[in-house]
Structures are given as structure tokens and as C-alpha cells.
């Protein structure tokens, strides 16, 4: 159970670190944004608090130092600077290394690095000399400020127990800040018959003397601040304690002496809360204005409570493995449902057919729901790239802004994970090869700052991600020369612009004149293309010399289950991804004869090239008198596939092929049909490439 809690903390911490990185990058652009400063502080505070609770003491101690610095920022005592952001980003990386080291995922955290970061932050804050390196693991900082006494009234919500919060834990945490006196106010207790045992009828008055400051007190209540009334007043500073004049308010002195009970004091204080009645009696307010203010107060509270209730019910943390298992089970159910439908059709039993149709409907809904659970916005991945762009800009001496669009676009979690590395390659290439140095850009009449624009948009059952830069663009002549030099094309070859740009995906191809730490060794673009194609996606390049380059990556929403078109050749079944299918037309033997072996069909005055799959896969037997051409569209090119018969649409559960079939061109997987037979899923882009390569 403890391990489960520790694992839950780590998952939460990783998410918080991702959010922290995003907030810091935004804070660098908007250093005066109070909300962003608050987000950074809360992320640090949560990691520190939860880390300490689950035994990650090194993380809690280290994070406490960073949190202290941002507490100063929050209070206006320290400005957000580039150095502060750099150090905090380094601290974020260090915390992640500590988390990895906890499970020996990474190489372990460098404690010396922790000391450097803390020392840098303290130096920046001005309360530690540069030479005095901070210890790698620090305990709670002792603040040098004077002792201050605070009066605190903590009135928790009646429903606070329902949220799982124990107010006594908060009080205990508060007592650890200094000398504390606690008075429980129990005057609101109803009679036994009216009492709700799950409600909280108690509130507390506390007197705390501490050197930790008011923000440290508020931090104790940070997670219940919307579920309680919290009033913090400064009673006196330590320097006043020795002075002869009054240093405490009358009510507090009477309470401490026992001359007034807590109930009597509560009664007096209660009159203070009836401000409206007092104001009305004195003629300061009229009834209408008072009611308006009360309505506003109630409205805001209700909206906030509704929002909190919605947020609390809208998310639940579930291990990814359980979701994968759920999707696998749904996949098995889809296969069984297909078998049921086929059996019902064969028996022509009306009742069985009705049941099969109902099961089919429910299975489709279950499939969509299960897949939707794994859908995540791609925005979290975009945020990682922002850090990449920032770090590479500094490393290469370039000034680059990154803009994003469509961060809310959702993709299957598995697709997002597998898409990360290809996109990193593409962005690194855009920064290294595409964007020019500031002086070169100014000389070319461009702004000194280059831009990398990352966008995602839905397109049918796919998502198109574009990486666009306003850099130098691709040099066609340089690409052509390098391709001839490497023997990829003949010197006399005539290539379209699209084919020319496609040469950069050749293994080892690079036009970079020198090797940098980022790229230039010709490693990357061929790997990128293979990775995209492994996701059943495609990649397209367009570029204008001097204006910039746009790379469009089209990938399916999910890799688990797809809608496909089932076709038949002889006794064999094949599946084509329905998203690529444009239309189906007939192909007679006369049509074949008229093409004179050129494999071209006239479809509404347009000549469409086609691939006879029976010949391609060397399937024995004669084709029927009338065949079917399934016309697909890949990267804007229409190509047909000739089959014996089109069976119809099919929900295809994708099964990966074994190692023996991994290198078979044109096949991306297999699926089980309702009768238990196997159908191969065609990888259309790869099939086209395979055919093109075999052509003379």
C-alpha cells in the first residue's frame, strides 16, 4: 500500500514538474504575471509537502529552498529575472533526476548539482554570500526575521470532512511554525437530534508566535482556502514585547486571563460579522444595496463551489496499464462481436440477428468510450518543445520564438508517446538548419527573432501536425548536388519539387556544411520517416528558399482499432484503412485491355494509376470478369488497388505481426475476422513506395 502511495506521488510529481516547466517558460515571457508566479509556487509547495509525507525527504528539503525563493517573488521582494528562471528550470530538472533516482530509472541525482542550484538561488535572493555554497540537502530554513504574533481564525466548511481533510492535521502543522495556542469554538453545535455526524460544527481561534511570516501560515491552509474562512491578523512584533505600552488587543487579553469565555468572545465577534445590519441601522446603506452585495457574495461562492465540484468529479488518476488492458479487452470483444454477427447472418435467425445488432451497437459505443479515455491533448507535448527551443536557441546563439496552435487537439496516449522523438528531430533541424543567426536575418530583411510555429489540427480520423519555420528554406540545388554526389540520383534525373525534397529522407543524407552538436551528421530524417510510417502516418515537406519550411506530419488518432475497408482476393481478405479510401469503381477486362499493360484507369476523365494486388502478392487463380478498384489518396496522390471484391466496412482490431513478417513491405499488421481467419492490413504509403522502387 505504501509503495502505491509513493508511486501515486511520483506520478503526480511528474505532472507537476511538466506544469512547472510550462509555467516557468511563460513566466520568462511575462515576468510580472502574478498568476504564473502563484502556479510556480503552488507546484513547488505541493511537491515539497507530498514528498515529505511519502518519505522523499531529499526532494522535500531541496524543493523547500526553491519554494522559499518564490515566496519572496510572490511577496514582491524579488523580481523574476532570466537567471532566476534558468536556476528554477535547473532545479526542476534536478527534482526530476531525484524522482528517477528513487526507482533507479535514471543515473541518480548529482547532489553537488543540488548545492550549486541552491547556492545560486540564495545568492540571487541576497541572503547568502556567493562563496558560501549551500548544502545539498537542507533542512527547513531558519529565518532571521523577528518573532511576530498572529491571531488566526480558522472556520472550516461544514463539509470539510467529506473532502477527506482533517482540520486537526492543519492545526498540528501550524503548531510546528512556532509557539501556538489553540481555542476550539464549539458554540455552533446543535442538539443531538439535529446533529449531522459528518458535519464540522467547530471552528478555531489560534494565537501563533513565529518567525516564519504570514505567507507560511497561509501555506498551511493552501489546499482548503476555498473551503474555509481564514482570518489572519498581526497582533504584535517581537520588538514590541518588551515595551510598556499595550501590545495586545483587549479581547485577547481578557481571553488569556479567563475574564471572558470563548463563547462570549464569539458573541462579540459575531456582531462584527453583522456589518450589514449595523450599516443599515446607522443609515449608511439602504436595503437594496445590501441585498445586491449579499447576492454577489452568494453568487460567486456558488459558482466557485460548482466549478470545484465539477473539477473534482471530472478526473480520476488511473494507471496507464489498466487503460491498455481495457482497450485490449475491448479489442477482443470487437472480434467476438464480428463472429456473432457473421454467425447470425449465416443462420438467418431474426431473433439472433436482432441480438447481434444490439451487441454491435453496444460494442461500438464501448470501443469509442474506451479509446476516448486514452485520448490526451497534445498540448503537454508542445510544452516540452518550448523548453527544447529555448535551450537550443541559447546553445546556438539564435533568437527564436515558438508559437503553438491547436494544443487542445487530442491524440491517443500511445501515439503521443511515439510521436515525441520524431517531432524533436524535426524541431531541432528547423532550429539548426532553418532559422538563421540574428545578424543574417537582419541582413536578409527579416526580424532578428526567428519563429518556429507548431500546430495540430484534426483531419478526419487523423491529426495533422505542422512544424513551420521562417528560416532560410531548403536549398534545392544543394540537395540535388548532394544526392548526385551520393549516387542517390543520376546527374540527368528530372525530379519534381516534391521528389527533390523527399531526398532528405534518404539515410545519411545531409547538406550541412559542418557538424554541430545538434545535427549535421545526416542522422535523423530517415529515422523520422520510419517512425512516422510505423505510426501509419505520412510526412510532407514544402519550402520556399529564403522564406522558410513547413513539414506536415499526418498520423492516425489511435493505433488500437481502426475503421477499415475489407476486400477479397481469391480466398484471402485484406484491410485498407478507410481514412485513405476515396471511392471504389469497377474494372472490366475490356478496361484492362485498353490500358495496354500500363495499369491506368479512366475515372471521370482522370487517369488513375492502379496496382493489381493479385499480381503484387502473387495470389494464384484467375480474377473475376469484373474487378474492383479501391482508389486511395496519399499525400494528395490518387492511386487505385485492384481487388476481386469489396466486402464492406469493418472495425479492425490491429494485431502486430511476428518477427518473421516484420520486414514484409506493404503490410502493417493483421486482424482476426469473425470466422476466425486472418486478414492482413495494408500499409498503403509503404506499399506505394515499394511498387515505385521496383519500377525501372
**pLDDT of 373-403, one tens digit each?**
888 888 778 877 888 888 888 888 888 988 8
- For the chain, give the percent of residues with pLDDT over 70: 83
Q: How sure is the predictor about 133, in pLDDT bands with cuts at 50, 70 and 90? A: very low
3-state secondary structure 536-553: CCEEEEEEECCCEEEEEE
The matching CATH number, chosen from 3.40.50.450, 3.90.1720.10, 3.40.50.620, 2.40.50.180, for 561-693 is 2.40.50.180
Q: What is the pLDDT of residue 155?
A: 87
Rounded to 10 degrees, what is the CA torsion of 30, 31, 37, 43?
80
Whole-number Å distance between alpha carbons of 411 and 376? 5
Whether residue 263 is predicted with pLDDT greater than 80 in this model: the reply is no
Per-residue pLDDT at 591: 86
Average pLDDT over residues 184-199: 83
Q: What is the mean pLDDT of residues 17-44?
A: 85
Q: What is the pLDDT of residue 248?
A: 57
Mean pLDDT of 282-301: 68
Q: pLDDT tier at 461 (50, 70, 90 boundaries)?
A: low
Residues 479 and 674: their CA atoms lie apart, in Å, by: 50
- Alpha-carbon distance 586 to 629, whole Å? 6
Radius of gyration of the chain (CA): 34
pLDDT tens string 596-605: 878 888 888 8
Write phi, then psi, for 459 (nearest 5 degrees): -145, 95
pLDDT at 239: 53
* Predicted local distance difference test score (pLDDT) of residue 99: 85
Q: Is 127 a residue whose pLDDT tops 60?
A: no
Q: Which residue has the higher pLDDT, 494 or 661?
A: 494
Cα–Cα dist 172/251, whole Å: 25
Helices 320-347 + 350-373 axis angle, to 10: 160
pLDDT of residue 185: 80
Map out the domains of the chain as residue ranges.
Answer: 1-125, 147-238, 275-312, 320-375, 392-556, 561-693
| Three cell numbers written together for 251 | 479581547
Q: What is the mean pLDDT of residues 497-509?
A: 81
Is 657 a residue whose pLDDT tops 60?
yes
pLDDT at residue 408 above 90? no
Strand order in the sheet with 548-556: 400-405, 450-459, 462-469, 548-556, 538-544
Residues ≥6 apart with Cβ < 8 Å to 524: 425, 428, 429
**Which segment of 53-67, 268-282, 666-680 scores lowest on mean pLDDT?**
268-282
- Alpha carbon distances (Å) from 76 to 37, 125, 428, 450: 11, 12, 37, 33
| pLDDT of amino acid 568 | 93
User: Which element (helix H / strand E) includes 153?
Assistant: strand 148-156
**What distance in Å separates the CA atoms of residue 63 and residue 695, rounded to the nearest whole number?**
62
Mean pLDDT comparison of 133-147, 252-266, 554-568, highest-scoring range: 554-568
pLDDT greater than 50 at residue 144: no
The per-residue pLDDT for 468 is 93
- pLDDT of amino acid 549: 92
The more confident residue out of 138 and 148 is: 148
Per residue in 473-485, pLDDT tens? 888 888 888 888 8
Higher pLDDT, 178 or 622: 622
pLDDT at residue 238 greater than cutoff 70: no
CATH number at 147-238: 3.30.70.1110
Confidence class for position 141, pLDDT limits 50, 70, 90: very low
Looking at CATH, the fold of the domain delimited by 392-556 is given as: Heat Shock Protein 90 (3.30.565)
Cα separation of 360 and 275, whole Å? Answer: 64
The pLDDT value given to residue 302: 61
The predicted pLDDT at position 45 comes to 81
Query: What's the rounded Cα separation, in Å, for the pair 343 and 519?
Result: 57
Name, in order, each residue with C-beta under 8 angstroms of 300's C-beta and a sequence gap of 6 or more.
none
The 10s digit of each residue's pLDDT in 156-183 is 888 888 776 778 878 878 877 877 778 7
**Mean pLDDT over all residues of the chain?**
79
Torsion sign, CA atoms 580, 528, 470, 404: positive
Supply the pLDDT for residue 279.
Answer: 74
User: Smallest Cα–Cα separation from 96: which of 15, 210, 158?
Assistant: 15
Strand 667-672, strand 678-682: pairing: antiparallel
- pLDDT, one tens digit per residue, over 77-112 is 888 888 888 889 989 988 888 888 876 554 556 777
8 A C-beta contact, residue 647 and residue 573: yes
Of 8-12, 285-289, 386-390, 650-654, where does the model show the most confidence?
386-390
Q: Is the pLDDT of residue 56 over 60?
A: yes
pLDDT at 259: 60
Measured at the CA of 516, the angle between CA 514 and CA 521, to 5 degrees, comes to 70
Q: What is the pLDDT of residues 338-374, one digit of tens each?
A: 889 888 888 888 899 999 999 989 988 898 888 888 8
Percent of residues, the chain, with pLDDT higher than 90 = 10
Considering the segment(s) 1-125 as one domain, its CATH architecture is: Up-down Bundle (1.20)
Q: What is the pLDDT of residue 104?
A: 59
Rounded Cα distance between 282 and 1, Å, is: 61
Q: Is the pLDDT of residue 487 over 70?
A: yes
Judged against a pLDDT cut of 60, whether residue 200 lies above it is answered with: yes
- The pLDDT value recorded for residue 346 is 87
Question: Average pLDDT in the 19-40 region?
Answer: 85
From the number of C-beta atoms within 10 Å of its C-beta (0-12, 13-18, 19+), residue 365 rates as exposed
Please give the Cα distance from 524 to 429 (Å, whole number).
9
What is the predicted pLDDT for the residue at 157? 86
Q: pLDDT band for 470, please (50, 70, 90 cuts).
A: very high
Which of these, 555, 553, 551, lies nearest to 452 by C-alpha position? 551
pLDDT band with cut points at 50, 70 and 90 for residue 219: confident
CA-based torsion, 519, 413, 407, 46: positive or negative: negative
The pLDDT of residue 646 is above 90: yes
- In this prediction, residue 645 carries a pLDDT of 93
pLDDT of amino acid 418: 86
Range of weakest confidence among 194-198, 566-570, 618-622, 646-650: 194-198
What pLDDT was estimated at residue 186?
80
The phi and psi torsions of 671 (rounded to 5 degrees) equal -145, 160
DSSP character at residue 282? T
Whether the per-residue pLDDT at 138 is higher than 50: the answer is no
The DSSP bridge partners found for residue 626 are 588
Sign of CA dihedral 258, 261, 262, 264: negative
Residues whose CB falls within 8 Å of the CB of residue 668, separated by 6 or more in sequence, listed in order: 536, 654, 681, 682, 683, 686
Q: What is the pLDDT of residue 271?
A: 63
Amino acid at each position: 500500500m505504501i509503495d502505491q502511495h509513493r508511486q501515486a506521488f511520483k506520478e503526480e510529481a511528474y505532472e507537476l514538474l511538466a506544469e512547472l516547466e510550462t509555467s516557468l517558460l511563460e513566466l520568462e515571457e511575462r515576468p510580472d504575471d502574478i498568476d504564473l508566479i502563484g502556479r510556480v509556487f503552488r507546484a513547488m509547495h505541493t511537491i515539497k509537502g507530498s514528498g515529505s509525507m511519502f518519505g522523499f525527504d531529499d526532494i522535500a528539503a531541496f524543493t523547500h529552498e526553491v519554494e522559499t525563493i518564490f515566496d519572496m517573488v510572490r511577496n514582491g521582494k524579488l523580481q523574476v529575472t532570466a537567471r532566476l528562471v534558468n536556476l528554477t528550470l535547473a532545479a526542476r530538472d534536478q527534482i526530476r533526476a531525484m524522482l528517477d533516482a528513487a526507482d533507479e530509472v535514471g543515473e541518480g541525482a548529482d547532489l553537488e548539482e543540488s548545492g550549486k542550484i541552491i547556492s545560486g538561488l540564495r545568492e540571487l535572493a541576497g541572503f547568502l554570500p556567493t562563496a558560501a555554497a549551500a548544502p545539498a540537502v537542507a533542512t527547513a530554513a531558519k529565518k532571521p526575521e523577528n518573532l511576530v504574533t498572529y491571531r488566526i481564525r480558522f472556520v472550516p466548511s461544514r463539509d470539510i470532512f467529506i473532502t477527506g481533510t482533517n482540520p486537526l492535521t492543519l492545526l498540528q502543522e501550524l503548531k510546528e511554525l512556532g509557539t501556538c495556542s489553540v481555542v476550539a469554538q464549539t458554540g455552533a453545535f446543535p442538539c443531538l437530534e439535529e446533529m449531522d455526524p459528518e458535519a464540522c460544527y467547530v471552528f478555531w481561534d489560534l494565537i501563533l508566535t513565529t518567525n516564519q511570516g504570514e505567507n507560511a501560515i497561509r501555506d498551511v491552509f493552501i489546499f482548503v482556502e476555498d473551503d474555509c474562512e481564514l482570518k489572519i491578523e498581526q497582533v504584535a512584533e517581537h520588538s514590541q514585547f518588551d515595551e510598556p505600552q499595550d501590545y495586545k488587543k483587549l479581547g485577547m487579553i481578557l481571553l488569556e486571563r479567563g475574564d471572558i469565555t470563548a463563547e462570549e468572545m464569539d458573541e462579540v465577534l459575531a456582531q462584527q460579522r453583522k456589518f450589514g445590519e449595523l450599516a443599515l441601522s446607522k443609515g449608511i446603506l439602504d436595503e437594496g444595496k445590501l441585498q445586491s452585495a449579499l447576492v454577489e457574495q452568494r453568487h460567486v461562492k456558488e459558482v466557485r463551489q460548482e466549478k470545484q465540484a465539477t473539477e473534482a468529479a471530472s478526473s480520476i488518476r488511473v494507471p496507464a496499464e489498466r487503460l491498455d488492458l481495457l482497450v485490449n479487452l475491448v479489442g477482443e470483444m470487437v472480434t467476438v462481436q464480428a463472429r456473432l454477427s457473421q454467425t447470425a447472418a449465416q443462420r438467418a435467425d431474426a431473433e439472433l440477428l436482432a441480438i447481434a445488432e444490439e451487441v454491435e451497437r453496444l460494442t461500438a459505443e464501448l470501443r469509442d468510450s474506451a479509446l476516448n479515455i486514452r485520448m490526451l491533448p497534445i498540448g503537454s507535448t508542445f510544452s516540452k518543445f518550448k523548453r527544447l527551443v529555448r535551450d537550443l536557441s541559447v546553445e546556438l546563439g539564435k533568437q527564436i520564438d515558438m508559437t503553438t496552435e491547436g494544443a487542445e487537439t487530442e491524440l491517443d496516449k500511445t501515439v503521443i508517446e511515439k510521436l515525441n522523438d520524431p517531432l524533436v528531430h524535426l524541431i531541432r533541424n528547423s532550429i539548426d538548419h532553418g532559422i538563421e543567426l540574428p545578424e543574417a536575418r537582419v541582413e536578409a530583411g527579416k526580424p532578428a527573432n526567428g519563429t518556429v510555429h507548431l500546430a495540430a489540427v484534426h483531419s478526419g480520423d487523423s491529426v495533422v501536425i505542422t512544424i513551420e519555420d521562417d528560416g532560410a528554406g531548403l536549398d534545392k540545388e544543394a540537395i540535388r548536388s548532394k544526392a548526385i554526389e551520393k549516387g542517390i540520383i543520376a546527374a540527368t534525373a528530372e525530379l519534381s519539387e516534391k521528389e527533390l525534397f523527399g531526398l532528405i529522407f534518404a539515410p545519411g543524407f545531409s547538406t550541412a556544411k559542418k557538424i554541430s552538436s545538434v545535427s549535421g551528421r545526416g542522422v535523423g530524417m530517415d529515422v523520422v520517416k520510419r517512425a512516422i510510417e510505423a505510426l501509419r502516418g505520412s510526412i510532407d515537406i514544402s519550402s520556399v528558399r529564403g522564406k522558410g519550411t513547413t513539414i506536415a506530419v499526418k498520423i492516425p488518432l489511435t493505433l488500437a482499432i481502426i475503421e477499415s475497408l475489407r476486400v477479397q482476393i481469391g480466398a484471402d481478405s485484406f484491410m485498407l484503412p478507410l481514412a485513405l479510401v476515396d471511392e471504389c469503381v469497377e474494372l472490366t477486362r475490356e478496361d484492362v485491355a485498353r490500358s495496354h499493360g500500363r495499369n491506368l484507369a479512366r475515372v471521370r476523365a482522370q487517369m488513375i494509376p492502379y496496382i493489381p494486388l493479385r499480381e503484387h502478392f502473387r495470389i494464384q487463380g484467375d480474377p473475376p470478369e469484373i474487378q474492383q478498384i479501391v482508389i486511395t489518396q496519399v499525400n494528395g496522390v490518387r492511386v487505385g488497388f485492384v481487388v476481386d471484391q469489396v466486402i464492406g466496412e469493418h472495425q479492425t482490431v490491429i494485431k502486430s505481426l511476428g518477427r518473421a513478417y516484420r520486414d514484409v513491405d506493404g503490410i502493417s499488421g493483421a486482424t482476426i475476422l469473425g470466422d476466425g481467419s486472418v486478414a492482413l492490413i495494408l500499409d498503403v504509403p509503404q506499399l506505394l513506395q515499394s511498387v515505385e522502387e521496383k519500377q525501372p
